[in-house]
Each structure stands twice: as C-alpha cells, then as structure tokens.
Amino acid sequence: MIAIIDYGSGNLKSIRNGFQHVGAEVLVTHDKKELGKADVMILPGVGAFGTAMQNLTKYKEVIYQHIRDEKPFLGVCLGLQVLFSESEENPGVEGLDIFPGKVARFPGTLKNEGLKVPHMGWNKLNIKKKSPLLKGVGSDYMYFVHSYYVQPDDDEIVVATVDYGVDVPAVVVQDNVFATQFHPEKSGAIGLKILKNFLKRV
C-alpha cells in the first residue's frame, strides 16, 4: 500500500494525481493505523516549517518506524525540508532530524542578481551522482516553489542540485529515504518518470 500522509500541510490532490497518472493506487489518510501498514510513505508539504512540524507531531513515531523498517519514503518540497533538523523560518522548532542540517532562507543579495524569492518556476537539474531515483534523468527542468533551501551537514546525500544564486540541493537520498525540493508531480513527463523510478523500489 502506498500512503500519502494527510497532516494538514500538503498539496494532496496534485501528488495523488501524479502517482495515479503513473498507474499507482494510493491512499490519502490521516489515520496512524493505516499509515503504519503502508509499504510506501509519501510526505508532501506546502506552507511554513513550524506549522508543518506542529501538524506532524502525532505522526512522528509512525514516520520514524517506517524509515527504521527500511520501507521506501518520499518527501516533496516542504516534505523534504521537515526531514532536516531545523529551519531559519521558525527558529527553535525541531524538524524530524532524519537528515542532520538546517533549512536556510535564500540570501537577500539574490535581488541584485535579478532573482526573486520565492524561487518559483522551472530550473535545470545538475546531477551530482547516480541514483535509482534519477535513472534516465539528466539536465532536465523541474518545477520549484520555495523560499528556503536545505543545507545538509553531509553533502554525500545530495544527488542533484539547481543553481539559484546559491547551490540548492534539489534531490537528497539516503538508503530508503528520498526527497525532492521540486514538485515531480508538476514537472511534466520527466517528473512523472521520477515517480515511476521511485515506485520501482517497491
């Protein structure tokens, strides 16, 4: 079973439709018992880090257990950011800390380069290393909407970046945990290919 966590901070319809488009049956649920049965877990996210973490409080243990059980897990956009330790968006709020590191706001100097915050629109991937998630994917354009970006303590988990005035981690992977800063479900045929690649892990 593929389960999307309905925790009140996710763009559930688009991610559900993306997986359905590639032939997957998905369950959108806020039921912890159902989530505990999931073979695959998806954590989408839209909005503020602090609000998301407040809403995720009751789901923390089921997420940690899923990851400990080495089941495939995918975080998308804010669902990537909350996997880190903390965020400048809401100082003092602890993230899930799956990936040590922080979430930083884009520097104010970007406007001097003609770059707006939030980073909204299409940007080209720079592939840093091979990953099953990116099989058949190259310097393709993905769709982003975010004002903050992750700064992992361990650069080895970064498999792709984009250039937006700073080097922005776009895909992070460690063992059974995969996450994208962009929205694969809104990134056309190549984005859907990434979802297919993820499902091949199941």
* CB neighbour list of residue 68: distance below 8 Å, 6 or more residues apart: none
34 is catalytic: no
Considering the candidates 66, 119, 146, 185, report the single residue annotated as catalytic.
185
77 is catalytic: yes
Choose among 146, 131, 144: nearest CA to 194: 131
Considering the candidates 21, 34, 77, 94, report the single residue annotated as catalytic.
77
Considering the candidates 66, 119, 146, 183, report the single residue annotated as catalytic.
183
Helix ranges restricted to H, the chain: 12-21, 32-37, 49-56, 60-68, 78-81, 188-199
Choose among 29, 48, 40: nearest CA to 202: 40
CB atoms within 10 A of CB 23: 9
185 is catalytic: yes
Which residue(s) pair with 158 in the sheet? 172
Strand order in the sheet with 2-5: 26-29, 2-5, 40-43, 73-76, 177-180, 167-174, 158-163, 126-127
**Spatial separation of the C-alpha atoms in residues 4 and 100, rounded to whole Å:** 24
Q: Which active-site residues does the annotation give? A: 77, 183, 185
